[in-house]
Structure 1
């Protein structure tokens, strides 16, 4: 190789390392060295007479013409690409990419370097390779300019994940029942056929309205409309799709090759894309994934690499996978100075945890018991002889504990529908629809009412209904009281268990909000009982602003740790208050402005409640009690107000002998 090409290779590798990622330059350089030979061999050169070694191209304008020929983009688009914008590739590129991967895999398989010809693992995609060298040449000729590196970068998979395409997890029908058909026809399809051709809709809101009208339950179909709109607008040629069956199986992988179209002749799932299914099989995942029909997975690069390893038959090193997932999470954390953790800090923290594992003979990566991790931390800090990572061991373990605490749990749960809600909660359908609509739009709701009207039970079941399943892991319930504080709720210094000093601890709201942030595709519910008993301004502090629906996602610095924190859009807050409680008067305007209020009344006239009473054996005496309580409630309402009435749930206790209201009312 000539000195010119050698020098160009070294300079490219250094520039790529500094601007595109730690490993990009080293990984990409061998491809660029043989680009000309490979493009000719794979018939992707368009008959052009390119240099065999692309490092001989030292002019940006000269290479730009080659980029336009192979990738197929305009001068205006290239001008945006070199400035760091991740523009999508043209539709024709999807076929180029497929052919590149297919022939490269076949070539290395025949050379004995690859296990099977459909194993595409470890092959750098054509587009990112071309773009990396194009950017390098541009900035080499314009040394006064600086490439706009991403603010947030994922240190674990530099160059392996193409930021210019999307990666999708997709369900081809329940339990993948359409996959065989779709595989044979090289298509992927989506339901909601009654919408018709999606090209007639101007925006997602129009789609959402039609779905809502069809469902007729007054619940905003946020997830459904997002899946439909993403399928129509966001899925593009070149995107990678992983087909799933249930929550723990992958059955196929493919590359999208065509834009959206509506197949009116199809029997079901008429919304379509052409796709080349490159892999078909059965691969069991280590963790369950969400049940949603369509989910974009770009924010989970470790998962993408892990699934590709499964599909390609590569050895999946479980410990390495756990470490990389933690690295990715660390790269998204913000320090007190407002900056993201850099690669050096991330490497130091991971090295610290590995050293602790070796030195103390414990397991950290893979441990999910936070108490066990806290015990490890106490042991490490108490050992005066351990000094190799003494300065960072405590903070490294703190980060790992937070990582585990905020990790979402995905389980296969019992479904929960509107019919289920109405069958066990004594609320009319029209009131339920209002309740759902208020919570959807405001995100913060207070259920107020007399004692015994079932506010806590309703809050719990309302969360199930919004989630459409009984998932306790996405519900957090606490109770306020007069002594409850910011330090209890958000964060604060608390005495250590052994009484030796204090430590900064996160409160339940921060922990739960961070868990919801890591799982943006699903809804989470924070339920606060006796919300009016606490001093809201004192408890919420600077977060009082962030819980507003239009402030979700905005960040502020927490009081003690000074760390950036935001309340995610998928976190709903439901409070309960007894209107008979005199402390209701203490609620300030700040709380009232940020919450919607919904009154829960005694349900003695509710049809479901009446049917429940009729279903009890020998209810005559109970009906007499109910009628007396209804009469008493009229008197109470006139003299004290509706907030002092007796709630219907008290009847359950009367019937089961848990409260002797009969003697109190002298009805025995």
Structure 2
């Protein structure tokens, strides 16, 4: 090699290390030195310099880049600015050939254990882009590459951010997987839809699925999976296939556009795939089970799967320290810049030192409350001074990292419509309507008199929509007059050591971010006494984001300045007691963002009457309920239906154990005092109703 090529190599290595990643120049240079020879040997292209360092002008190499990748020239300015543009679909074949031939060459040379081990092979397109950028900025020294201070360690040849990475979960369909391998395809069901190209929008697909189903549940997740498969997957994307919850069985490169295969009997929505690896590998690192999920935003997961498939020996701390380091490299600071390498290494060193000094486990700990306790211990210890300045923030970053991990599904007790109707005293028509309202509006408030079962209904409605009793996807809080934005969203609170304040996330931010990590399942944030709080003060700038058509759009939070969006799979359910005179009316801004469903007493409900009859000696209870129905008529006329006495007063374990005793307690110490409150200015009327209620249970004895 002559000196000019050597000098070019040195210049490239230095520039790449400063702008693309610390090891990028070292990683890519050996490829560039023999790239022309390899392209010819692999049948990808001829007529190029054997050593690509002989290309010394941007204009000359741009033509080479376009010829090999078939990239549209109009997209090159964006690529030069650091934007990861997709390669054209015609490049997918070249990418597949490059990986297969390079791996086979290494296997035949004895440097690779298997001919299909693609671990550590730099992607052809990424190599070419790196050299294209180098030549452009070398000729334009007055310009600065936009990612100069945004180095991401995983860009050092191991992670190609110009493509998407998908996990496809086939459930337990082993037979279909065998067909996928043989025919080099992947497919989705919902065959009755026909060719998805006939639908102009996601809404049309959803409408068709709804027409074919009778559950009344909006098929949002199914529609999203189909639309993603049809619209967002591109040739060249990497696909990983799972069977069951913890078995990886394949890796492939998407080779073609979507098509509908009418000849097949099932899974007719298809794409061609070149399977680079097939087999069986156990997944130990938790990865959420979704039908179809893009994991490009979790590059540590991508590298983990690549290591599993290539049977690379992984350090025991790979999914702890290294994965955390990768995550840190993607975190944006309030000034818009990413954390630099020095800061990242400092935070890692801080946490390692904490583990040694306090004899605790931080890396690998998934209990955020335990991590907060460690932080409090560190800040309170007057003798610990090394890394003291960064230890608290380092633990905070690790807590955020733990909270950012994909949610892993567990087995929970199923919950069906039959289960719901057996324990909630509303009929099927009502609950179908309520589900539809919540799915369409995302935000729903149950309003009604005391004892109509608002809270119980909200809880069971969440179970019904989840189809299982998964309390981890439900969070309930209660508003009060002094509740604030700082309590709900984020705010400054005193530090554990008493020295100053620190920024802490509120329950809504934490729960919303948890829901965002699990987009294919529904989450429910339930607010009791929602009208006791000052809604504009509590929600702040998020008042806009909870609207149905604003879901997924982000704003900067008031204190942290971090980007935040309310995910589409988060439903907000509020409860308001219409009989509380101390409460102000909700403002119109909030009313516009919620649907309202009024609940009344369910004394006439068939399930409620079955429940009453199951209790021992129900006559006494039925007589009392008869009086309450009469009394509710007067209450409605004089005070309004929102002040009626509800059925929940007569539900609970006490009635099942000793209904005779419990009915006396409820009447004397709950209902009669409520009547005294209602008719505080008419003692005679309150006394008359009290006497009627007492006669009702006495006359039945």
* TM-score above 0.5: yes
Within the candidate set 305, 308, 322, 2:306 is matched to 308
- C-alpha distance in structure 2 between counterparts of 1:176 and 1:557, whole Å: 46
CA 1:607 to 1:339, structure 2 compared with 1: closer, same or farther past 3 Å? farther
Show the counterpart of 2:87.
Answer: 89
Aligned equivalents of 2:150, 2:550: Cα separation in 1: 22
Partner of 2:104, secondary structure, is helix
Structure-2 residue corresponding to 1:202 = 200
> Which stretch of structure 1 is more off in the superposition, 449-458 or 186-195?
449-458
CA 1:199–1:560: 2 relative to 1, 3 Å? closer
Distance, in Å, in 2 between the alignment partners of 1:149 and 1:616 is 72
Instruction: Tell me what 1:478 maps to.
Output: 477
SS in structure 2 of the partner of residue 238 of structure 1 = coil
Deviation string, structure 1 residues 553-597 (Cα, Å, up to 9, x no partner): 455554555555443343322111111122333533343233221
- Matched with 2:673 is none
1:210 deviates by 0.8
Given that 2:523 and 2:569 are in contact with CA atoms closer than 8 Å, whether structure 1 keeps it comes out as yes
Q: If you compute each CA radius of gyration, which structure gives the higher value, 1 or 2?
A: 2
Instruction: Note if 1:380 corresponds to 2:378.
Output: yes
Shift of 1:227: 0.7
Q: Provide closer, same or farther for how the CA distance between residues 388 and 374 of structure 1 changes in structure 2, counting only shifts above 3 A.
A: same
Contact 2:347–2:391 (CA<8 Å) still a contact in 1?
yes
1:456-489, CA deviations, whole angstroms, 9 ceiling, x for partnerless residues? 1221222233334332222111112233333332
Residues 539 and 230 of structure 1: is their aligned pair in 2 closer, same or farther, counting only changes over 3 Å? closer
CA 214–418 in structure 1, closer or farther in 2 if over 3 Å, else same: farther
Q: Which runs of 5+ in 2 are unaligned?
A: 669-692
What is the number of equivalent residue pairs in this alignment? 666
C-alpha contact (below 8 Å) 2:287/2:406 kept by paired residues? no
**Separation (CA, whole Å) in 1 of partners of 2:629 and 2:322:** 63
* Structure 1 partner of 2:258: 260
Indicate the residue corresponding to 1:4 in structure 2: 4
Question: Structure 1 residue 34: deviation in Å?
Answer: 1.6
Residue 79 of structure 1: CA displacement?
A: 5.0
Alignment map for 1:604-643 (pairs within 5 Å)? 604-613=603-612, 619=618, 621-643=620-642
Q: Which residue of 2 aligns with 1:660?
A: 664
Query: Among 137, 143, 153, which residue is 1:139 paired with?
Result: 137
- How far is 1:600 from its partner? 1.8
C-alpha spacing 1:568/1:115, structure 2 compared with 1 (3 Å): same
The question of 1:37 aligning with 2:37 is answered yes
The match for 2:226 is 228
Distance 1:568 1:318, change over 3 A: farther
Deviation at 1:234, TM superposition (A): 1.7
Deviation at 1:614, TM superposition (A): 5.5
1:99 Cα offset (Å): 1.7
Superposition pairs of residues 16-415 of structure 1, within 5 angstroms: 16-45=16-45, 48-78=46-76, 80-149=78-147, 154-384=152-382, 386-405=384-403, 407-414=405-412, 415=414
Q: CA deviation at 1:238?
A: 1.5
SS at match of 2:482: coil
User: 2:682 maps to which residue?
Assistant: none
Measured in 2, the distance between the counterparts of 1:123 and 1:494 equals 49
Deviations 1:377-414 (A, max 9, x none): 34434455544423212211222233334545423233
| Deviation of the 1:527 alpha carbon | 1.0
Distance 1:520 1:610 in 2: 40
Please identify, of 556-565 and 134-143, the stretch whose mean Cα deviation from structure 2 is larger.
Answer: 556-565
Q: TM-score, normalised by structure 1?
A: 0.91
Quote how far apart the aligned CAs of 1:340 are: 3.9
Measure the CA separation in 2 of the matches of 1:28 and 1:482.
62
Rounded to whole Å, the distance in 2 between the matches of 1:340 and 1:659 is 64
From the superposition, tell whether residues 391 and 268 of structure 1 become closer, same or farther in structure 2 (CA, over 3 Å). same
Per mean C-alpha deviation after superposition, the further-off stretch among 27-36 and 596-605 is 596-605
Q: CA shift at 1:108, angstroms?
A: 1.5
The answer to whether the Cα contact below 8 Å between 1:338 and 1:563 also exists between their aligned partners in 2 is no
SS in 2 for 1:277: strand
Deviation per CA, 1:409-466, whole angstroms, max 9, x where unpaired?
A: 4232334444543443333333333323332333222111122222112212222333
Q: Once structures 1 and 2 are overlaid, which stretch shifts more, 637-646 or 334-343?
A: 334-343
Report the Cα distance in structure 2 between the residues aligned to 1:230 and 1:542, rounded to whole angstroms.
Answer: 30
Deviation at 1:302, TM superposition (A): 0.6
Contact 2:380 2:497 in 1 (8 A): no
Deviations 1:604-625 (A, max 9, x none): 3334444555666765555444
Q: What is the match of residue 546 of structure 2?
A: 547
Q: CA deviation at 1:40?
A: 2.3
Q: Secondary structure at the match of 1:211?
A: helix
CA distance in 2, matches of 1:141, 1:377: 50
Which 10-residue stretch deviates more, 29-38 or 467-476? 467-476
Q: Would you say the 8 A contact 2:289–2:408 is kept in 1?
A: no
Relative distance call for 1:507 and 1:248 in structure 2 (3 A) is: same
- CA gap of 1:101–1:212, structure 2 versus 1, over 3 A, is same
The alignment partner of 1:638 has SS state of helix
CA distance in 2 between counterparts of 1:328 and 1:254 reads 24
Partner of 1:442: 441
Q: 1:472, 1:618 → 2: CA distance? A: 36
> How far apart are 1:170 and its partner, in Å?
0.8
Question: Does the CA contact (< 8 Å) of 1:19 and 1:147 recur in 2?
Answer: yes
Structure 1 alignment gaps of length 5 or more: none
Residues 97-131 of structure 1 show CA distances to partners (whole Å, capped at 9, x for unaligned) of 22211121122223332222221111111221222
Q: Please say if residues 287 and 407 of structure 2, whose CA atoms lie closer than 8 Å, have aligned partners that are also in contact.
A: no
Q: Secondary structure at the match of 1:594?
A: coil
CA distance in structure 1 between the partners assigned to 2:271 and 2:502 by the alignment: 54
**How far does residue 188 in structure 1 lie from its aligned partner after superposition?**
0.8
Aligned CA distance change for structure 1 residues 399 and 78 (closer, same or farther; 3 Å): closer
Contact in 1 for aligned 2:18/2:148 (Cα 8 Å): no
Compute the displacement of 1:150 (Å): 9.5
Q: Name 2:684's counterpart in structure 1.
A: none
Encode CA deviations 1:191-212: one digit per residue, 9 max, x unaligned.
0000001121122221121112
Report if the CA contact (8 A) 2:650-2:663 is conserved: no
How far off is 1:655 after superposition?
3.5
